[in-house]
A and B are shown apart, each in its own frame.
Chain A
Amino acid sequence: AQKVTQAQTEISVVEKEDVTLDCVYETRDTTYYLFWYKQPPSGELVFLIRRNSFDEQNEISGRYSWNFQKSTSSFNFTITASQVVDSAVYFCALSEVYNTDKLIFGTGTRLQVFP
Chain B
Amino acid sequence: EAQVTQNPRYLITVTGKKLTVTCSQNMNHEYMSWYRQDPGLGLRQIYYSMNVEVTDKGDVPEGYKVSRKEKRNFPLILESPSPNQTSLYFCASSPKTGTDTQYFGPGTRLTVL
A interface residues with partner B (beta carbon < 8 Å): 4, 32-33, 35, 37, 43-45, 47, 50, 91, 93, 95-97, 99-103, 105-108
Please, how many angstroms separate the alpha-carbon atoms of A37 and B92 in the complex? 13
Say how far A88's CB is from chain B's closest CB, in angstroms: 14
Q: With A and B bound together, what is the CA distance between A100 and B31 in angstroms?
A: 10
- Interface residues of chain B, those whose CB is within 8 Å of chain A, are 33, 35, 40-45, 48, 50, 56, 58-59, 88, 90, 92, 97-99, 101-104, 106-107, 109
Main SS at interface, chain A: strand
The verdict on A103 contacting B45 (CB below 8 Å), with A43-B88, A45-B90 known, is yes
Known: A44-B107, A45-B90. A101 touches B42 (CB 8 A): no
Q: Are A105 and B43 in contact (CB under 8 A)?
A: yes
Whether A101 and B56, one on each chain, are in contact in the complex, defined by CB atoms closer than 8 angstroms, is yes
Q: Which residues of B contact A43 (CB under 8 A)?
A: 88, 106-107, 109
B58 touches A102 (CB 8 A): yes
Known contacts: A102-B58, A105-B43, A107-B42. The answer to whether A45 contacts B104 by CB under 8 A is yes
Q: Is the CB of B103 within 8 A of A100?
A: no
* A91 / chain B contacts, CB cutoff of 8 Å: 42-43
Instruction: List 9 A-B residue pairs with CB atoms under 8 Å apart, sorted by A's residue number.
Output: A33-B99, A45-B107, A96-B99, A99-B98, A101-B48, A102-B58, A102-B59, A103-B92, A105-B42
